[in-house]
């Protein structure tokens, strides 16, 4: 059995989702969203994200972690903040000695929905169907994190066969 933690990084919110792959049958184990308050300083927010993310790793003990790549076309300030949050996540993964794979938003959409141009609502609906959930996880960051975990669940098997 493989336990995978999917992560949609951000500064205000980090979506996360834990799935289990048991011989090709995938299921959601847990999911949610880590949030920080914008009244806190950037360094305090990063410390809060680190602490909460480290607890997730300790609680769910994932074998591998999938993280969304950065993709911003217009707002450099947002890209820097998200990059800092992503760095905190990667640090926590490295300290826990857990392998990390990165996926672009387009790759996740294409894997989950069959189209790299899929809308967030489509991703949420497909994640709900693939993991047999009762409703679409909210907020979008949480559904995206589960989509990243599922994407990694599909891809690590293919990579293993190629090696």
Tell me if residue 69 is catalytic. no
Q: Which of 20, 64, 68, 144 is catalytic?
A: 68
Do the bridges between strand 25-35 and strand 64-68 make them parallel or antiparallel, or are there none, so unpaired?
unpaired
20 is catalytic: no
Distances (CA, A) of 84 to 39, 80, 104, 128, 145: 18, 6, 17, 30, 18
- Measured CA to CA, the distance from residue 110 to residue 126 in angstroms comes to 11
Single out the catalytic residue among 20, 140, 141, 144: 141
The span from the CA of 17 to the CA of 33, in Å, is: 9
Q: Looking at 8, 21, 64, 144, which residue is catalytic?
A: 8
Q: Is 68 a catalytic residue?
A: yes
DSSP line for 61-127 = --SEEEEEPP--SS-HHHHHHHHHHHHHHHHHHHHTT--EEEE-HHHHHHHHHS-TT--HHHHHHHH
Say how far residue 26 (Cα) sits from the centre of its chain: 16
Which residues does the annotation mark as catalytic? Answer: 8, 68, 141
């Amino acid at each position: 059995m493989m336990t995978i933690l999917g992560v949609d990084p951000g500064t205000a919110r980090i979506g996360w989702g834990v799935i289990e792959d048991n011989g090709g049958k995938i299921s959601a184990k847990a999911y949610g969203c880590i949030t920080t308050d914008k009244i806190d300083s950037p360094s305090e927010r990063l410390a809060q994200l680190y602490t909460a993310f480290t607890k997730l790793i300790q609680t769910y003990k994932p074998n591998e972690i999938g993280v969304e790549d950065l993709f911003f076309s217009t707002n450099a300030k947002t890209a820097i903040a998200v990059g800092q949050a992503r760095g905190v996540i990667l640090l926590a993964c490295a300290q826990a000695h857990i392998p990390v794979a990165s996926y672009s938003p387009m790759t996740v959409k294409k894997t989950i929905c069959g189209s790299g141009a899929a809308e967030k609502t489509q991703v949420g609906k497909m994640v709900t169907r693939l993991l047999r959930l009762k409703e679409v996880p909210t907020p979008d960051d949480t559904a995206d994190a589960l989509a990243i975990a599922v994407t990694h669940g599909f891809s690590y098997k293919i990579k293993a066969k190629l090696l």
